[in-house]
Amino acid sequence: MDNQVRTDILGLYRRNPLLRDTAEEIAHRIARSPAHVQQALDEMETAGLVAKRWVSGAALYSFTGAPESTPDAESGSDTIPDAIRAKTTPILKARLTTPSTFDGVSTGRSSVEALCRVVHMPAPAAGEFLVAVSEAITNAHRYGRRGDGRDWIRIDVLVNELEIEVVVQDRGSGFPALLVGSGPDDVQSTGGRGFMLMRSLTDRMEVKRSRTGTSVTLVKSMQPPKTE
């Protein structure tokens, strides 16, 4: 139910990008339980997908796609990465930042899944892409932590008519095993298998490292496969 409620809320914001309303009114608009909508909005606010403003004692929620501030000054500017910013005519653009915890990993996965539903990504492609995204988020949690209590995972999503692009960023120095044993005959390295899995399930993949962390870019076509 929670995933579907998030999908309905994101669909509402996609149709009404400037909407700012209470949880009760949003629940009325999408014909969902106010309690379920409030829970979903709380989770989406934590992930950075919606912003809450208090006006005359009422909490109003609006779609943001980006948190109000960076989770860590070390992470650099709060601008969308170059790979995302270079795209034109986006259908949907969102940024969510979640703690690098098991719950945070789950929130990241389910949020990307909800966004894929909102933009009506073809089911077979969405299924493959979500496996790759899940692998990237899991690796960010596994290898991207510095252990100082400020670890986070940032997920940027951009969708246009042709493709969906997801950039998963963390504060780590890279995946020690990810690029090792990535040949087709290596079945011993978990990291190598994860690397090959992400490559095989996406149309493009790129890994970047910097002093502030590591990012993995995954791209998948939004077009249904051509039939002979």
Q: What is the pLDDT of residue 69?
A: 39
* Predicted local distance difference test score (pLDDT) of residue 27: 93
Q: Do residues 142 and 117 make contact, with C-beta atoms less than 8 angstroms apart?
A: no
Q: What is the pLDDT along the chain (228 residues), one digit of tens a residue?
A: 467 888 889 888 888 877 889 999 999 999 999 999 999 999 888 877 888 999 888 899 988 864 433 444 344 444 555 555 555 567 788 888 888 988 889 989 988 998 898 888 988 899 999 999 999 999 898 888 777 777 889 999 999 888 999 999 998 766 554 444 344 444 344 455 778 889 899 999 998 888 888 899 999 998 776 655
The encoded tokens of residue 220 equal 């998948």
d(CA 81, CA 155) in angstroms, rounded, equals 10
Instruction: State the DSSP H helix or E strand holding residue 78, giving kind and residue range, or none if neither.
Output: none
Residue 228: what residue type?
E
Please state, in angstroms and rounded to a whole number, the distance separating the CA atoms of residues 109 and 102: 11
Q: In terms of pTM, does the model score above 0.85? A: no
| Residues paired with 155 in a beta bridge | 96, 168
Residue 153 near residue 168 (C-beta atoms within 8 A): yes
* pLDDT of 81: 58
CA distances (Å), origin 131, targets 40, 112, 157: 23, 11, 15
Question: Rounded CA gap, 133 and 2, in Å?
Answer: 20
> Domains in the chain, please, with CATH?
2-63 (1.10.10.10), 73-221 (3.30.565.10)
The C-alpha atoms of residue 5 and residue 3 are separated, in whole angstroms, by: 5
**Identity of residue 103:** D
pLDDT number for residue 166: 96
The pLDDT, as a whole number, for residue 68 is 39
